[in-house]
């Protein structure tokens, strides 16, 4: 495509942008174009862990993750069954103080309708034979939490959207992005794309794009790391994803008996154009130490590949989804704080509903109120990213 006009132009072909395009097409909004200089899932979506758990920090997060879970299961069942599986999610700690907080979180999750229970060391050892649990002070299990292959679900969304008429514009670097009267204009190559509604869903690049348009929002890109490992012997059987609260490391099963482990989160701002894309020695050493203590059956695993991606933080750990304050037709869907895969399907459906309903400026709909961009006073002061599988309660008023 050289030039063209769309009703909605989506910037970013990660899981959020492709899911939004799919839901817009389902609601008959057309024409829709998704622009990205790279193919789907080339950014953080393709480097994510793909964990889908309801052990989250607010009712809103639980609801949208549950919606995502159901949608991923349905779409993968139809198009790529191996890309989604329910294996459960476990959190463990040997610290009595953290165990008390975990117990409080357990009751909160239950109040949100999450299927979660305390679990003992013997049951954990049966579920995860590679582990050592004789020292735990507390553990909880969500038996129906899941994993999804991030690149697969992103591609499934993109192809479903394309099948309903959404245009995808890839491979050409953007040269300009401006407002021209009632339209937004994106120039690349020899042509331009125009639309009255622009949704910036560009992950770590969202901050720079909004700044370029003169409407910055409080977003901080940060680097996080993961590694693909081959356990010794016959490899790993399917087991629950485990998050060790003491080391803040997670490990989940992968295809062909391999395992994926990660965290490696850095609490400083990263440049998505210049970050180090490989895993570093400090992260791999931290991962090895964590495996040696908590999962000794995996301690001798071979590192097949280690990598880093750039996620985006917000001051309150909730994403920014909805209209950018002070400008008609400009929307944002970003700042997932490392939980983009979990939230993308449910959040995209809600934003598509809002756009299909005419995107009223009367205030946020109930379905998006906790993540409405207008909740911050602008300009917002600098802040340090605080991502992670927090046990804290969120400040969603519906909690």
Residue 122 CB partners (closer than 8 Å, separation 6+)? none
Say how far apart CA 88 and CA 252 lie, in whole Å.
10
Q: Are 102 and 245 in contact (CB under 8 A)?
A: yes
**Positive/negative CA dihedral, 57, 59, 65, 70:** positive
Same domain flag for 226 and 132: yes
Mean pLDDT by 10 residues, the chain (399 residues): 84 97 97 94 80 93 97 97 97 96 95 97 95 97 97 96 97 95 94 97 97 97 95 86 94 95 88 93 95 96 95 93 95 95 97 88 85 94 81 52
CATH of the domain at 26: 3.50.50.60
Residue 2 CB partners (closer than 8 Å, separation 6+)? 189, 190, 191
Strands 174-180 and 183-188: antiparallel
When divided into structural domains, the chain yields a total of 2
Say how far apart CA 76 and CA 82 lie, in whole Å.
8
Say how far apart CA 333 and CA 361 lie, in whole Å.
17
DSSP conformation letters of 72-113: HHHHHHHH-GGGEEE--EEEEES-HHHHHHHHHHHHHHHHTT
Same domain flag for 134 and 230: yes
Per-residue model confidence (pLDDT) at position 259: 96
Q: Is the peptide bond before 128 cis (omega within 30 degrees of 0)?
A: no
Of the residues 291, 313, 335, the one at which a domain ends = 313
Per-residue model confidence (pLDDT) at position 29: 96
Residue 244 resides in a domain = yes
Per-residue model confidence (pLDDT) at position 394: 55
Per-residue model confidence (pLDDT) at position 399: 35
Residue 333 resides in a domain = yes
Same domain flag for 302 and 157: no
Q: Is the peptide bond before 31 cis (omega within 30 degrees of 0)?
A: yes
Same domain flag for 211 and 295: no
List, in sequence order, every residue forming a beta bridge with 52; answer none if it has no partner.
146
Per-residue model confidence (pLDDT) at position 1: 45
Residue 110 resides in a domain = yes
Residue 65 resides in a domain = no
Per-residue model confidence (pLDDT) at position 397: 43
Same domain flag for 226 and 355: no
List, in sequence order, every residue forming a beta bridge with 321; answer none if it has no partner.
333
Q: Are 331 and 352 in contact (CB under 8 A)?
A: no
List, in sequence order, every residue forming a beta bridge with 223; answer none if it has no partner.
310
Say how far apart CA 355 and CA 333 lie, in whole Å.
12
Same domain flag for 132 and 239: yes
Same domain flag for 271 and 214: no
Same domain flag for 365 and 323: yes
Task: Compute φ and ψ for 222, nearest 5 degrees.
Answer: -145, 155
Closest CA to 3 of 197, 194, 195, 192: 192
Same domain flag for 192 and 274: no
Residue 332 resides in a domain = yes
Same domain flag for 364 and 346: yes
Q: For helices 15-26 and 150-163, give the axis angle rounded to 10 degrees.
A: 30
Of the residues 264, 295, 313, the one at which a domain ends = 313
Residue 397 resides in a domain = no
Residue 391 resides in a domain = no
Of the residues 269, 287, 313, the one at which a domain ends = 313
Say how far apart CA 375 and CA 335 lie, in whole Å.
14
Closest CA to 308 of 254, 265, 268, 347: 265
DSSP conformation letters of 298-358: GTT-EEEEEEEEEEEE-TTS--EEEEPTTSTTEEEEE--TT-HHHHHHHHHHHHHHHHHTT
Same domain flag for 247 and 167: no
Residue 328 resides in a domain = yes
CATH of the domain at 253: 3.30.9.10
Domain limits for position 232: 89-143+221-313
And the tokens for 332?
């944002």
CA 332 from chain centre, in angstroms, equals 15
Same domain flag for 161 and 184: yes
């Amino acid at each position: 495509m050289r030039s063209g006009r769309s009703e909605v132009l989506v910037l970013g072909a990660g899981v959020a942008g492709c899911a939004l395009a799919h839901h817009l097409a389902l609601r008959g909004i057309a024409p829709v174009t998704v622009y990205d200089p790279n193919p789907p899932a080339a950014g953080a979506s393709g480097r994510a862990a793909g964990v889908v758990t309801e052990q989250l920090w607010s009712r809103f997060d639980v609801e949208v993750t549950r919606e995502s879970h159901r949608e991923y299961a349905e779409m993968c069942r139809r198009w790529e069954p191996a890309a989604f599986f329910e294996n459960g999610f476990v959190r463990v700690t040997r610290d009595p103080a953290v165990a008390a907080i975990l117990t409080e979180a357990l009751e909160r999750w239950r109040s949100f309708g999450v299927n979660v229970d305390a679990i003992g060391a013997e049951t954990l050892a049966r579920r995860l034979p590679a582990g050592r649990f004789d020292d735990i002070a507390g553990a909880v299990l969500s038996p129906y939490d899941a994993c999804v292959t991030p690149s697969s679900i992103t591609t499934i969304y993109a192809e479903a959207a394309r099948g309903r008429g959404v245009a995808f514009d890839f491979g050409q670097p953007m040269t300009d992005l401006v407002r021209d009267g009632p339209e937004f204009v994106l120039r690349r190559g020899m042509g331009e794309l125009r639309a009255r509604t622009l949704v910036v869903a560009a992950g770590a690049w969202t901050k720079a794009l909004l700044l370029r348009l003169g409407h910055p929002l409080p977003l901080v890109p940060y680097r996080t790391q993961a590694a693909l490992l081959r356990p010794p012997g016959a490899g790993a059987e399917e087991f629950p994803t485990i998050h060790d609260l003491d080391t803040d490391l997670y490990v989940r099963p992968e295809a062909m008996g391999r395992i994926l482990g990660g965290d490696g989160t850095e609490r400083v701002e990263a440049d998505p154009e210049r970050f180090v894309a490989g895993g570093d020695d400090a992260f791999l050493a931290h991962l090895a130490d964590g495996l040696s203590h908590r999962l000794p059956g995996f301690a001798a695993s071979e590192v097949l590949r280690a990598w880093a991606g750039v996620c985006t933080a917000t001051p309150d750990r909730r994403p920014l989804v909805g209209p950018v304050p002070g400008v008609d037709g400009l929307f944002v869907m970003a700042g997932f704080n490392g939980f983009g895969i979990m939230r993308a399907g449910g959040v995209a459906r809600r934003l598509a509903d809002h756009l299909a309903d005419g995107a009223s400026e009367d205030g946020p709909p109930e379905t998006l109120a906790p993540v409405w961009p207008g909740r911050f006073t602008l300009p917002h002061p600098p802040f340090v990213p605080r991502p992670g599988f927090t046990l804290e309660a969120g400040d969603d008023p519906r909690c």
